[in-house]
Amino acid sequence: MDFYLQNALKGFLPEQATVKMISNLEDADFLLSDVDGDDQPEIVLILEYDHKGYLVVLDRENFIWRVSFIQELNESEEKEFYFLNELDILPELMEPGKEITLEEVFHGKNDSLDFIAMVDGAKYEAVAELTKGLSRLYSVGGAAQILGWGDKALEKADAVNIQPVQAKTESNYDWVIKSPAMEIRPFPGGGPGSGPAFDNGQNDNNGQNDQNDQNDDNQSEGLQSIKLPMIKSNFKPKTSGEYFLDVSLPTDLTLIDQKVGQVKGGINNDTIRLYGKLIQPDIYESLSIFIEDSEEHSIIQIIPPVSSGLQPSFELVNFSGEKYQDIVLSFKPQMILEDRLFVFIYSFQTGNLKMIFDSRDFNESFDGVARYENDYKIMVTMSTQQRYILDISKRSINDQIYSNNGKLLHETNAVVMPLSEIEFVQYLNEKTENLVTVQEIMDPLNNNVLGYIVTTFYFSLRSGTLKLAKQEAYVQSMY
């Protein structure tokens, strides 16, 4: 819920603010609730001006909060919103359509703000901590020291120099990756004839309750902020590979790695092994994952849809749920010069073995166009209809592209590359991790990295799919 609330308030809270749940709140600085029934949260404030109280509603579009409603408080509204503190405000901010940020309303003096959120009829009490801190802005150089909030912080961070341009969209959407489930048979002699193939009595609710499922839906509502990529008419999800039950460990393949973890939801841990046939240094073919059930001593073999590559590895991550660990397999193509990453994520969270992420489908849907502009800038337009302007003026400028005065010599495009890296990030007080994908923006003339597109996903337990949380762009650090 913390993650949902923080994202629901994006654009109003400073970039480095954190949100955490509290209890026994007596009064609040503002209310977060869907007051107009459009399935998007609004901020409700009580503002005082000229010794009168006003009910003010802020609505968000493309992460910009504006005054959408303002009215002098009547007696019934005073009783209804008795728990909200009255805030002094400058008169020029009290007009419909006026853009408002937290610093303008609270004058930047508060270290923390208490607020109440109403989500699907449930009441949540929370505090937004506004203390400045560190941000893991993506760059080759690592974390960057943040010296301020919002756009000023981006301008001062060593690793980043970027001017985001909001997408020109009328409404917001939630993009979902859907991969076909790998329908596997029940264990011989056990397991139900239909339903979850691996229901062993320990995973009736996947270690979570109805409230978790409700929270999952709440989270997705607050993150519907990026438009659905256009689905190509010839787009077809790729095959999910093969799987076999009750197999033996191979004797003709090399053990690449093995880990112990809770991937199927039983009482004991499972042993997960990655095997392959070594054909050249660091290059394997016939890649397979073997999952050994320590309770029944049975083994499942998963053959990924791409089964050969460079430096294969896997990790176990609490991505799709708290109690189950997902298997994240990744490797590079055999051609070393091909700068992309194959990633396949397998989960038992929904009861059946299912591939919940396929990098090939990701690359086909999440592409973009990048072109050089005058004054040492690059305009990037992604399939999500997000647009970004990257300022590359501090980089070594290619004299084949720009003249001495920063004007383009001829029309030139940069390239948004396929998936090149993944990372899992866990937000404060969240029990599962989020998948962060990285795509490089390349200069085709000298093969230099100019910047990155960074997209964050979370897993919705109720729908059994990945959902898009946010997408950002960063300039390659020169330090």
pLDDT tens digits for range 41-85: 889 988 887 778 888 888 887 778 888 888 888 877 778 888 888
Task: Tell how strand 162-165 and strand 448-460 pair up.
Answer: unpaired
* Range in 8-17, 44-53, 144-153, 381-390 the model is least confident about: 144-153
Reported confidence tier of residue 156, pLDDT bands at 50, 70, 90: very low
Distances (CA, A) of 227 to 11, 18, 162, 223: 17, 25, 21, 11
* Residue 388 CB contacts under 8 Å (≥ 6 apart), including other chains: 162, 163, 164, 165, 379, 380, 382, 453, 473
Which residue's entry shows tokens 């978790």? 212
Burial of 399 (0-12, 13-18, 19+ CB in 10 A): exposed
Give the model confidence (pLDDT) of 218-253 as tens digits: 343 334 344 545 444 454 555 667 888 889 999 999
281: pLDDT strictly greater than 60: yes
> For residue range 191-211, what is the model confidence (pLDDT) as tens digits?
222 222 212 222 233 333 333
Token readout for 76 is 């019934």
| pLDDT tens-digit map of 372-397 | 999 989 999 998 888 899 888 877 76
Q: Give the chain's mean pLDDT.
A: 73
Going by C-alpha positions, the residue among 255, 230, 226 that lies closest to residue 387 is 226
Q: Which of 29-33, 105-109, 416-420, 426-430 has the highest mean pLDDT?
A: 416-420
The single residue listed with the structure tokens 């109403």 is 118
Q: What is the pLDDT of residue 111?
A: 67
Residue 2: its pLDDT value, please? 64
What DSSP designation does 181 have? Answer: B
Q: How far is CA 394 from CA 1, 129, 391, 473, in A?
A: 40, 34, 8, 17
pLDDT score, position 106: 63
Whether the predicted pLDDT of 273 surpasses 90: yes
Q: Which of 445, 371, 444, 377 is nearest to 412 (CA)?
A: 371
Q: Mean per-residue pLDDT for 4-26?
A: 79
Q: How far apart are CA 143 and CA 137, in angstroms?
A: 6
Residue 3 is predicted with a pLDDT of 64
The dihedral over CA atoms of 430, 129, 218, 41, expressed in degrees to the nearest 10, equals: -160
Both tokens of 180, joined, read 């076909």
Looking up tokens 């239909």 gives 194
Query: Residue 24's pLDDT band (boundaries 50, 70, 90)?
Result: confident
> How distant, in Å, are the alpha carbons of 7, 179, 241, 250, 416 from that of 336?
38, 28, 24, 28, 19
- 212-to-1, 18, 34, 207 alpha-carbon distances in Å: 9, 21, 20, 10
Closest to 453 in 3D by CA, of 421, 413, 424: 421
- In the chain, the percentage of residues whose pLDDT exceeds 70 is 69
pLDDT for 391-435, tens place per residue? 888 777 677 888 888 899 988 899 999 999 999 988 767 788 999
pLDDT at 55: 87
Picking from 328, 269, 315, the residue whose alpha carbon sits closest to that of residue 293 is 269
Q: What is the pLDDT of residues 306-324, one digit of tens each?
A: 999 999 999 999 998 888 8
How many angstroms separate the CA atoms of 299 and 70, rounded?
64
Strands 448-460 and 465-475, by their bridges, are: antiparallel
Question: Does the pLDDT value for residue 180 go beyond 60?
Answer: no
**Confidence band for 107, pLDDT divided at 50, 70 and 90:** low
Is residue 23 scored above 90 in pLDDT? Answer: no
- The residues, any chain, with a CB within 8 Å of residue 107's CB and separated by 6 or more, are none
Please state, in angstroms and rounded to a whole number, the distance separating the CA atoms of residues 280 and 294. 33
Query: Lowest-confidence range among 128-142, 143-157, 463-477?
Result: 143-157
> Across 87-91, 197-201, 469-473, which has the greatest mean pLDDT?
469-473
pTM over 0.75: no
Lowest mean pLDDT among 23-37, 126-140, 265-279, 360-374: 126-140
Write out the H or E segment, with its range, that includes residue 442: strand 434-443
Candidate from 75-79, 120-124, 265-269 with smallest mean pLDDT:
120-124
Pairing relation of β-strands 270-280 and 299-303? unpaired
Q: How are the residues of the chain apportioned to helix, strand and coil, as percentages rounded to the nearest 5?
A: 10, 40, 50
Alpha carbon 335 to its chain's center: 29
Dihedral sign for Cα 460, 464, 470, 475, please: positive
| Count of helix runs (H) and strand runs (E) in the chain | 6, 28
Tell whether the model's pLDDT for residue 216 goes beyond 80: no
Q: In 167-247, which ranges are continuous DSSP H helix?
A: 210-222
Residue 144's Cβ-count burial label (10 Å; 0-12, 13-18, 19+) is: buried
Phi and psi at residue 210, in whole multiples of 5°? -60, -30
